[in-house]
A and B are shown apart, each in its own frame.
Chain A
């Protein structure tokens, strides 16, 4: 006998016992889990999908009576396997990703013990939490769209769990989502944005972009990647292509092979001076002041390092950051998610002396790169001890024929890398040249340092810039005439790199974007692909800036704008009203007409009330109509008082009042009486009518309505 328990046939959420979830409902829950998992899968271990399939397979077999319900043991084994797997995968369970994995795994395993409506709702609720957690990975447009799909699916599951069939549940879910969307938008706009209430574990981020130590060869690795480092837009002046030097780190410690960054803490410890001389936390630079040249809004990608780029030396920011004495910026913590930062910067190398001192910036390891030093000393002598002439001579030398700029230079392996580059390979890119120039300046006694950062960036038609990993660059700053001067040897040998970016470098271009074979950036030349890419990036940028960046400041600004608009509207209205021009007149006329209509309505009400008070016939007529609406209407040809008396027989405690009404009506109609008595009787009549209504209403509520409408009370009277 083949009995089909899984419910492709049935459309009920529960089986006939009213409790157990049907196969169709379980499938619905399982698809929901798959959708939630899909949101996570790019960031989470893939074997979680295997758990989902295993659990679903078990439930399928169980519903077809091949297996028993999962017992405690099996569930414990499941949780144990999950924890073990995560531990093996991450090496710890304390990490954010491992915790997310635990949540997802438990969510998937929960299907094993999902039997009743209540269990189903719990599964949906966990799904909603897991969806929210997915937003930690990313908040872009695809993730938001995915989140919307998941929400719709989960809401549908809930509606279906409450009853009805799936088609009707879909309609209802659509209504629910549509009707609640305006409320959501309003709350989103109005709800005050608070800072984090307490610290929570943050997801670890792979470092993108720069590292804080470079040896000739490192930055070429970056040119192989098209990952986005950050985006920027400018208020006011935009930098010309040759001005787009984004400073990130200064590297002042050279060991003969590599340039390293020295953190303020290390500097303070090494030089035995207080930390406050090297770094200050705040919103304004303590080292520099002056007119900012560029006002920049940065949209930073999450990164495990707290670096913040700035165009030239930073002067001020809109949040509290660490201002380093070398004219760079640092966040107080790594960025776990995309965030907005506004900075104003000078656009030039900093003018303040580095507190580490000139000697620190002229140190060279004693025995390394002898040929380079020799060359530097010779050039220094030839230029007559004039720093500018010396630097010009070095740059001129780089510009000469044997030196070439290439993205895939031969590997340098010796201990004296600068010698090897200057006298043997003579092929390299920014790192090689910057490193060589800095070593030669130092050898000539000029304080100098290498700066790592980005150069250029892609300008989008709407004016924002995207700076990617392949825009990474290194150049040199030399202390000259009481300020740091930016000197970029790349400008001498490959000016097209400065003006057009690394894609313009012809030599060794096979290395460009080598790690991103499917990057849309490779299709720059194909017009429509490039347009599509630019449109998408513009939309993405707006999304990130507008919706994701809608934090405290943005919200406050919006609310201030809204209140200002309302005020303006109010002022405008007030300005119109007292007869200024025809518009004001019209408005006034309309207001007056509205007021008159309202008054007329009010008067009509009062008059009706008054007339009712006087005209007992009308009063009784109304009462009769009222009774008729409740199935106690008059018979054809029956007089009002006869009608009331007839109804009174079966009216319980309303009976006396009804009889009184009939009596008063007859007296008022036919008896002669003076004005005073008439008034008195009318008042009594209206009181009685009110009494009839209230008593009958109560009674009718207790009695079910009789059949047969008009002759309702007739059964008794006849």
Chain B
């Protein structure tokens, strides 16, 4: 086991769960590089005072020492007792980013708090004792994922010491497949009746709309991105079938994902057939959520599919 992994294991052991006030035992103080420099500075001034028998240099050196100690306590106090709560992102598609909201409540004003998760970081001040920071976590792959270990830290007030605490949540982040709009004709037929022909008007564009359906002309005229909606003369009864798609499993899932989004937008009734499970036909946001979740949770070996 590498050192980093060992460290991470230890951090997870000392991490707090969201919703608990940060206790003293889970709060750590580490000197920063500038803090080590500060210690050197203190020694330098002390030597200066000794060698030149200079009283004011003594005073300044001791004051720097005192400032270091007090900064330690102030940094500790700045972090102590903060209650973090997590707000999971509404929906995340692979390849995008998960905007994780971390609400911090501190009771008293706090300054210059930093949140880190991997490479993502955010800074926040809590002048009224509470606030919310948004961490943009990268979500490269689909599936049910653990939230990364979050680090809450502060270098306030002098930057000589870093107070830090780890935050771990049991909640899972469900990352939907990256939607892939494929307009190769051989796949078109997979969703029969997709070709709605009757133009029914414009509606506000949403992420995931097919570029072919976006009303570019209106956009250039008005600056509002709209999508063309087509009505399907009879309500289509659609089955989106895994086996009808081509390519490797991830690609198929991406295509299905895009279709789910498209059919949802078109207001279709659709069902999902995956190896190992079937989602009955349905419509509306609930259906959409269930379909996307099924796609996100699907494992190609086929043991787990759609739940119902």
Interface residues of A (CB under 8 A from B): 18, 117-118, 121, 125, 128-129, 131-133, 135-136, 139, 143-144, 147, 151, 155, 158-159, 161-164, 168-169, 172-173, 175-177, 179-184, 187-188, 191, 194-200, 202, 336-337, 339, 547-551, 700-705
For the complex of A and B, the 9 pairs showing the least CB-CB separation, nearest first, are: A163-B112, A180-B66, A183-B66, A135-B56, A705-B19, A187-B62, A184-B62, A184-B63, A184-B66
Partner of A155, one of B56, B65, B67, B125: B67
Partner of A151, one of B63, B65, B157: B63
From A705, which residue of chain B is reached at the shortest CB distance? B19
Given contacts A125-B37, A162-B156, A164-B156, is CB(A177)–CB(B67) below 8 Å? yes
Partner of B53, one of A18, A176, A551, A703: A551
CA distance A194 to B169 in the complex (A): 55
A337–B62 CB distance below 8 A: no
B45–A128 CB distance below 8 A: yes
Partner of B111, one of A161, A164, A173, A197: A164
Given contacts A139-B54, A155-B158, A337-B53, is CB(A128)–CB(B71) below 8 Å? no
A180–B63 CB distance below 8 A: yes
CA distance A133 to B53 in the complex (A): 12
B50–A196 CB distance below 8 A: yes
What chain B residues lie within 8 Å of A336 (beta carbons)? 52
Q: How far is the CB of B172 from chain A (nearest CB, A)?
A: 12
- B55-85: which residues lie under 8 A (CB-CB) from chain A? 55-67, 69-71, 73-74, 85
Given contacts A121-B159, A176-B157, is CB(A135)–CB(B57) below 8 Å? yes
B17–A200 CB distance below 8 A: no
Given contacts A147-B60, A175-B74, A197-B50, is CB(A704)–CB(B158) below 8 Å? no
CA distance A125 to B40 in the complex (A): 10
Q: How far is the CB of A303 from chain B (nearest CB, A)?
A: 16
CA distance A551 to B54 in the complex (A): 9
CA distance A195 to B49 in the complex (A): 10
B18 interface residue (CB < 8 Å to A): yes
From B58, which residue of chain A is reached at the shortest CB distance? A188
CA distance A551 to B65 in the complex (A): 20
Q: How far is the CB of A81 from chain B (nearest CB, A)?
A: 27
What chain B residues lie within 8 Å of A180 (beta carbons)? 63, 66-67, 69-70
Given contacts A18-B123, A135-B56, is CB(A703)–CB(B51) below 8 Å? no
CA distance A259 to B257 in the complex (A): 109
A158–B158 CB distance below 8 A: yes
A151–B56 CB distance below 8 A: no
CA distance A272 to B204 in the complex (A): 112
Given contacts A162-B112, A187-B65, A196-B53, is CB(A702)–CB(B159) below 8 Å? no
Max count, chain A CB within 10 A of own CB: residue among B41, B51, B67, B171: B67
What chain A residues lie within 8 Å of B86 (beta carbons)? 704
What chain B residues lie within 8 Å of A125 (beta carbons)? 37-38, 41
What chain B residues lie within 8 Å of A176 (beta carbons)? 67, 70-71, 74, 157-158
Partner of A158, one of B44, B70, B111, B159: B159
What chain A residues lie within 8 Å of B111 (beta carbons)? 162-164, 168, 172
Q: How far is the CB of B7 from chain A (nearest CB, A)?
A: 20
CA distance A445 to B22 in the complex (A): 95
What chain A residues lie within 8 Å of B18 (beta carbons)? 704
Max count, chain B CB within 10 A of own CB: residue among A143, A175, A188, A547: A188
What chain A residues lie within 8 Å of B183 (beta carbons)? none
CA distance A180 to B47 in the complex (A): 20
Q: How many residues of B contact A (CB 8 A)?
A: 52
B24 interface residue (CB < 8 Å to A): no
Given contacts A180-B67, A703-B170, is CB(A139)–CB(B51) below 8 Å? no
CA distance A143 to B48 in the complex (A): 17
Partner of B52, one of A143, A159, A200, A703: A200
Partner of B20, one of A175, A188, A701: A701
From A143, which residue of chain B is reached at the shortest CB distance? B56
CA distance A147 to B59 in the complex (A): 10
What chain A residues lie within 8 Å of B65 (beta carbons)? 183-184, 187
From B127, which residue of chain A is reached at the shortest CB distance? A168
Max count, chain A CB within 10 A of own CB: residue among B58, B61, B69: B58
Given contacts A136-B52, A547-B55, is CB(A163)–CB(B156) below 8 Å? yes
What chain A residues lie within 8 Å of B53 (beta carbons)? 195-196, 337, 339, 551
B28 interface residue (CB < 8 Å to A): no
B34 interface residue (CB < 8 Å to A): yes
CA distance A163 to B85 in the complex (A): 23
From B114, which residue of chain A is reached at the shortest CB distance? A163
What chain B residues lie within 8 Å of A703 (beta carbons)? 17, 170
CA distance A700 to B155 in the complex (A): 30
Given contacts A128-B60, A131-B60, A188-B59, is CB(A136)–CB(B54) below 8 Å? yes
Given contacts A131-B60, A197-B47, A337-B53, is CB(A164)–CB(B70) below 8 Å? no
CA distance A18 to B65 in the complex (A): 29
B272 interface residue (CB < 8 Å to A): no
Max count, chain A CB within 10 A of own CB: residue among B47, B55, B156: B55
B16 interface residue (CB < 8 Å to A): yes
From B19, which residue of chain A is reached at the shortest CB distance? A705
Max count, chain A CB within 10 A of own CB: residue among B52, B125, B157, B158: B157
From B69, which residue of chain A is reached at the shortest CB distance? A183
B123–A132 CB distance below 8 A: no
| Contact code string B144-177 (vs A, CB < 8 Å = 1, else 0) | 0000000000011111000000000111000000
18 CB < 8 A contacts A-B: A125-B38, A128-B60, A132-B57, A144-B56, A144-B59, A163-B112, A176-B157, A179-B73, A187-B62, A188-B58, A196-B51, A197-B51, A199-B51, A336-B52, A337-B53, A702-B17, A704-B169, A705-B20
CA distance A705 to B158 in the complex (A): 35
| Contact code string B4-32 (vs A, CB < 8 Å = 1, else 0) | 00000000000011111000000000000
CA distance A183 to B47 in the complex (A): 19
Partner of A159, one of B20, B41, B45, B158: B158
B62–A188 CB distance below 8 A: yes
Q: How far is the CB of B105 from chain A (nearest CB, A)?
A: 13
What chain A residues lie within 8 Å of B123 (beta carbons)? 18, 163
CA distance A623 to B246 in the complex (A): 60
| Contact code string B109-132 (vs A, CB < 8 Å = 1, else 0) | 001100000000001010100000
Q: How far is the CB of B149 from chain A (nearest CB, A)?
A: 13
A191–B52 CB distance below 8 A: no
Q: How far is the CB of B136 from chain A (nearest CB, A)?
A: 14
| Given A158-B157, A163-B111, A337-B53; 4 other pairs, CB 8 A cutoff | A162-B156, A163-B156, A196-B51, A702-B170
B62–A191 CB distance below 8 A: yes
What chain B residues lie within 8 Å of A117 (beta carbons)? 159
Given contacts A175-B74, A705-B20, is CB(A162)–CB(B159) below 8 Å? yes
Partner of A198, one of B51, B58, B67: B51
Given contacts A129-B45, A191-B62, is CB(A121)–CB(B34) below 8 Å? yes
A184–B54 CB distance below 8 A: no
CA distance A184 to B61 in the complex (A): 8
What chain A residues lie within 8 Å of B61 (beta carbons)? 132
B70–A172 CB distance below 8 A: no
Q: How far is the CB of B134 from chain A (nearest CB, A)?
A: 15
A183–B55 CB distance below 8 A: no
What chain B residues lie within 8 Å of A169 (beta carbons)? 157
